[in-house]
Amino acid sequence: MLDEKVNKDNFDQFYDKYINKIFNFIYYKTHHKETAEDLTSETFIKALNKLDMFNENKGSFSTWIYQIARNTVIDFYRTKKDSINIEDVWDLSTDEDILRDLDTAKRLEDVKEYLKTLKSEQREIVILRVWEEMSYKEISEAMGKSEASCKMAFSRTIKILKEKMPLSVFLTMLLF
Amino acid sequence: MNKQIKQILKDVYLIDQSLKVHEDALIKIIQKLLRSKPESKIDERFVQELRIKIVERIKLLNNIKPQTNMFNTLFNKKLTYALGGIVVVACVLIITNLSQENGKLAINNLGENAFGELSFSQQVQDPEATGRGGESFAGQDIGMVSPEMVNYNFIYTGDDFELSDGQITVYKTLKGDSLNRALSSITKNINLDVLDLNKFQNLKIGNVEISEDRDFGYNIYIDSRQNSLSINMNWEKWPREEFDVSAEMLADEELLSIADRFLSEYSINMDMYEKGEVMNIEGGIRGAERLGVIYENVSIIYPLKIDNQIVYDQGGQKYGMNVSVNLRHKRVANVYGIIINAFESSQYAKETNKDKIITFAENGGLFKSYIYPDTTRTLDLELGTPEISLVRMWMPSENKMDTAEILVPSLVFPVITEISEQTYFYRTNIVVPLVGELLDQFDMPVPVSRTFE
């Protein structure tokens, strides 16, 4: 557990703590390993370069690094697509000229249409809770929100998915 | 219903109890989401390389700031120019002298067992060697545990080799204080109106940074405490990088040509280095290029060569001067690891038990990989015929307060099995020291992986 304040001399310890989490976070927003690596590198280098601007009174390091990662992904797609409405790969149609890992695309086949309809923030909270198995405390730090609002948002999102996912999705599960 | 789903639903019901009547549907949704989870495989090589990049950047940032502050707060502008001039002249003299000393690498032979009992230091390591900021790593792989649980089984399939009796030469890096003394002589020429420096005794200059004030200029950083010399791009004088603009990947020949030209232009003494090699990092730069991934810099290693033996690090990678070429500007961005040390040498008894050496190699050499007790996947990796080289290690210094760098003759076994892109194994060589007493210290059980956060 890193209790101390982040600075240039101990940044490598924070890197060790967050590298996997940030990579996964970005991967779930890009679905492409090499792009995720590239943007993960950019995230940590940006964080290190802007460390003087980090103010722990305004939020935790976790909130800050996730925000940099989030913005880095947004910048990546917006620059590529010249659009202000894109936040991550979920906002693109599958036939667009964007690299995706085949295995991931296949795995997401059944759920992508429903996850795509969610707002980026709702999708993020589902991903962090279900795929990353993060506690609400961790999610609240990553998203810069209170635990209570994260719990509320997750609950609402599950309700939305229940209404949107047709019976056919559940029936396919019987085949497993 | 598994524990994770139970907990997720428990939290959901705390917010909205009405959802409980739809429990069956909710369970199916969560199960569906879990089954759809992409396999995000982080590459251990990527983690390691990015860590090195960050540690280097931290060094650079730490080096720049104190100098700027000191000059801004202590001295007026005029004085800064005067002082800078003195430092530049003195440093040119120092570097020239060092080059002359090392043109023929200075090695002082001290006879047999002169360094005392060789023991591996577990307390303080060079952060660059492990990428883990000085933590202990004896007997373990380099920290990052593969997200895919694979046990590696090394099998020696090389030719029979001979190990003659006798002694081998171990080298010890002499940090010395020649750099310190040379730098400190500068202080005699500094005349500050606000302070009489000559009243202080036995002054030493810890480090000096010289900045080149031109487009694409460099900072030359001399650290007399660590006896290190590096050249880094002067960030203030290079165009601001835009990460979303593509840079062209260069052919190896062009990368090497840029690096060689730079070393020649700045008269860096190359007598103790092998020819440069482009470091094939991060799963293969060329492969990444095909996938459209952009790298800012590509590293070229000029392996250190002492008495015709190539020097490796403990992980089996070649060690020496590292030149990093910026792809965007087709210029050298940084040079690290310029050797300015002299060495002492001493002779030690050679390990001649071939079976012991092969067993040690088949157990993973100096860095033993974790064993995952619960995995069913084992990958056989063949080891080819070894060559004798030097391997950079550390032992406690005489005062036990820090560590001394030693170069130990070792057998370097190449991993000859072709590794697929799907695996996270990245070591190209397995290293076995040829000094018996060191070999015994490293001969510890292979670590078993534990669950950890």
pLDDT digits (tens, 9 = 90+) for B337-376: 887 777 889 999 899 899 999 999 998 888 766 566 666 6
**CA–CA distance, B371 with A4 (Å, rounded to integer):** 33
Contact B282 A136 (CB under 8 A): no
Closest residue to B54, CB basis, from A15, A33, A99 = A15
Point out the least confidently predicted range of A119-128, B101-110, B135-144, B258-267. B135-144
Residues of A in contact with B240 (CB under 8 A): none
State pLDDT tens for residues B224-240. 766 678 898 887 788 86
pLDDT at A138: 87
State pLDDT tens for residues B26-57. 888 888 888 888 887 788 778 888 888 888 77
Tell me the fold of A110-176: Arc Repressor Mutant, subunit A (1.10.10)
A168 vs A13, which has greater pLDDT? A13
Chain A to chain B, count of Cβ pairs less than 8 Å apart?
143
**Helix, strand, coil % over all residues of chain A, rounded to 5:** 70, 0, 30
pLDDT at B225: 66
pLDDT at B149: 64
Strand partners, B411: B388, B432
Contact B37 A107 (CB under 8 A): yes
Strand partners, B298: B325
**CA–CA distance, B193 with B75 (Å, rounded to integer):** 10
For residue B179, how many other CB atoms are within 10 A of its CB?
Answer: 25
Share of chain B above pLDDT 90, in %: 19
Contact B46 A42 (CB under 8 A): no
Q: Are B378 and B206 in contact (CB under 8 A)?
A: no
Q: What is the mean pLDDT of residues B422-435?
A: 78
Residues of A in contact with B50 (CB under 8 A): 15, 19, 40-41, 44
Strand partners, B231: B220, B335
Q: Are B271 and B103 in contact (CB under 8 A)?
A: yes
Res B145 pLDDT > 80: no
**CA–CA distance, B72 with B42 (Å, rounded to integer):** 44
12-31 of A, contacting B, C-beta below 8 A: 12-13, 15-16, 19-20, 23-24, 27-28, 31
Give residue for tokens 């002299």. B342
Nearest chain B alpha carbon to A128: B37
State pLDDT tens for residues A25-67. 999 988 888 888 888 998 998 898 888 888 877 778 888 899 8
pLDDT at B415: 92
126-155 of A, contacting B, C-beta below 8 A: 126, 129-131, 133, 136, 151-152, 154-155
What are the extents of the domains in chain A? 1-95, 110-176
Q: What is the mean pLDDT of residues A107-133?
A: 84
**Mutation target vs B (from A10, A21, A23, A157; most B CBs, 10 A cutoff):** A23
Q: What is the mean pLDDT of residues B239-260?
A: 78
**Mutation target vs A (from B31, B54, B144; most A CBs, 10 A cutoff):** B54
Residues of A in contact with B19 (CB under 8 A): 155, 158-159, 162
pLDDT bin (cut points 50, 70, 90) of residue B171 is very high
pLDDT at B448: 54
CA-based nearest distance B59→chain A, Å? 9
**CA–CA distance, A40 with B50 (Å, rounded to integer):** 9
Share of chain B above pLDDT 70, in %: 66
pLDDT bin (cut points 50, 70, 90) of residue B112 is confident
Q: Are B11 and B4 in contact (CB under 8 A)?
A: no
pLDDT at B243: 52
**Mutation target vs B (from A7, A18, A20, A38; most B CBs, 10 A cutoff):** A38
The rounded mean pLDDT for chain B is 73
State pLDDT tens for residues B380-405. 899 999 999 999 887 776 665 566 78
67-86 of A, contacting B, C-beta below 8 A: 75-76, 79-80
Nearest chain B alpha carbon to A14: B51
Q: What is the mean pLDDT of residues A144-170?
A: 80
Structurally, at CATH architecture level, domain A1-95 sits in Orthogonal Bundle (1.10)
Which residue from B68, B4, B86, B62 is spatially nearest to B37, judged by alpha carbons? Answer: B4
Q: What is the mean pLDDT of residues B154-168?
A: 88
State pLDDT tens for residues B274-287. 999 987 644 444 44
Nearest chain B alpha carbon to A135: B8
pLDDT bin (cut points 50, 70, 90) of residue A22 is very high
Q: What is the mean pLDDT of residues B152-180?
A: 83
Contact B28 A159 (CB under 8 A): no
Closest residue to A99, CB basis, from B11, B62, B291 = B291
**CA–CA distance, B319 with B325 (Å, rounded to integer):** 18
Amino acid at B360: F
pLDDT at B46: 82
- Helix (H, G, I), strand (E, B), or coil: what is residue A92? coil
How deeply is B399 buried, as exposed, middle or buried, from its count of CB atoms within 10 A (0-12, 13-18, 19+)? exposed
**CA–CA distance, A19 with B435 (Å, rounded to integer):** 38
pLDDT bin (cut points 50, 70, 90) of residue B126 is very low
Q: Is the ipTM of this complex over 0.90?
A: no
